[in-house]
């Protein structure tokens, strides 16, 4: 059974990042961008990236877990040469934060970004970027080279996929599968990989396709499409940035992680099909709970335990389209 309302309730209560955390994130991003504008030579602007920008960000599954967000910081450098590694922009941003008492104990350097860790809440990856002749470049400080990217192009691609499906069902399905990953905690796939592979299952001619007529149907359609693809790919596939094919996201994967993800996704796709096709209300809820946990839905039978059958109180309406009630 589809249980459309239960899916909406589950997203609102268990999956979507709550409004207070979104407000805190946006406030801190604003503060950080203000600091960089004042202190970073060549600062131009920033752009939200990753799950934060794609509106697929989810609430941490465990109370002590953190969520993460990404911003791209654009830097003006009139002497920039993509073939000649001169300026380490990661270090430039890192130095700004290290010279500020509010951040020096929170900041670390990674290969392509600076991470600010707000302990117990979230961490923010700040990625420096230079535009040169219409192309965006990020800085790989370990290999001492500049790498092409197109985060804004990727955002446009995702918006297009979501528009084709309609109902925001693509984003919602992505959040549900990210929740499944974190809830089960027995397979690993980076959000950018999962989102890209799901988006690749949507074609331009899928507009008004009944396979995307509601959220549970979309979830089933995308899961089966991706699973068919995975089962055809015994070896790890190359997942390209659809906005910049020469950039691939495989640095986030290895053979062992891929093989485990492929096996586990096959199991959970079959469970999705079983729960969707089950005609009995309670049996279907029980099957959905094998996927998403005991807080999904409500059983009708008197024999259900109180903890798993009591409806969850409604949340306060949100003002953001990617928070509670979309």
pLDDT of the chain, 326 residues: tens digit per residue: 999 999 999 999 999 999 999 999 999 999 999 999 999 999 999 999 999 999 999 999 987 788 999 999 999 999 999 999 999 999 999 999 999 999 999 999 999 999 999 987 899 999 999 999 999 999 999 999 999 999 999 999 999 999 999 999 999 999 999 999 999 999 999 999 999 999 999 999 999 999 999 999 999 999 999 999 999 999 999 999 999 999 999 988 999 999 999 999 999 999 999 999 999 999 999 999 999 999 999 999 865 443 333 443 333 333 333 333 33
According to DSSP, the residues that pair with 115 across neighbouring strands are 108, 125
- Distance of alpha carbon 193 from alpha carbon 23, whole angstroms: 27
- Look at residue 295 and give its three-state secondary structure: coil
CATH class, range 19-150: alpha beta
pLDDT of res. 302: 63
CA distance 240 to 200: 10
276 within 8 A of 215, measured Cβ to Cβ: no
- Helix (H) / strand (E) element for 47: namely strand 43-49
**Domain assignments of the chain as residue spans, ordered by start:** 4-15+154-309, 19-150
pTM over 0.85: yes
DSSP assignment, residue 18? P
| Rounded Cα–Cα distance for residues 230 and 251 (Å) | 18
260-263-264-265 Cα dihedral, nearest 10 degrees: 120
Decide: 224 and 277 in contact? Cβ < 8 Å: no
pLDDT for res 65: 80
């Amino acid at each position: 059974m589809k249980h459309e309302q239960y899916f909406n309730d589950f997203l609102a209560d268990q999956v979507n990042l709550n409004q207070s955390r979104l407000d805190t994130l946006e406030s801190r991003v604003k503060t950080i961008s203000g600091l960089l504008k004042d202190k970073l030579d060549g600062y131009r602007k920033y752009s939200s990236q990753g799950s934060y920008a794609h509106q697929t960000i989810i609430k941490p599954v465990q109370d002590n877990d953190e969520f993460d967000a990404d911003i791209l910081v654009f830097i003006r450098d009139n002497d920039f040469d993509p073939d000649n590694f001169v300026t380490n922009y990661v270090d430039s941003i890192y130095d700004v934060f290290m010279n500020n008492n509010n951040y020096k104990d929170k900041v670390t350097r990674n290969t392509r970004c600076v991470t600010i860790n707000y302990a117990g809440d979230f961490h923010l990856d700040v990625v420096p970027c230079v535009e040169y002749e219409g192309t965006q470049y990020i800085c790989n400080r370990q290999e001492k080279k500049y790498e092409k990217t197109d985060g804004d192009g990727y955002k446009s691609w995702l918006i297009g996929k979501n528009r084709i499906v309609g109902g925001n069902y693509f984003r919602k399905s992505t959040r549900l599968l990210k929740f499944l990953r974190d809830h089960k905690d027995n397979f690993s796939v980076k959000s950018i990989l999962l989102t890209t592979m799901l988006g690749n299952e949507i074609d331009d001619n899928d507009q008004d396709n009944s396979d995307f007529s509601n959220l549970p149907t979309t979830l089933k359609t995308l899961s089966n499409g991706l699973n068919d693809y995975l089962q055809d790919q015994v070896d790890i596939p190359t997942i390209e940035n659809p906005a910049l094919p020469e950039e691939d996201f495989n640095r986030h994967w290895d053979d062992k992680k891929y093989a485990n993800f492929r096996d586990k996704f096959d199991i959970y796709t079959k469970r999705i099909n079983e729960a969707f096709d089950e005609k009995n209300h309670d049996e279907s809820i029980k099957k959905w709970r094998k996927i998403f946990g005991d807080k999904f839905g409500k059983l009708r039978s008197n024999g259900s335990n109180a903890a798993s059958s009591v409806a969850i109180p409604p949340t306060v309406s949100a003002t953001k389209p990617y928070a509670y009630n979309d």
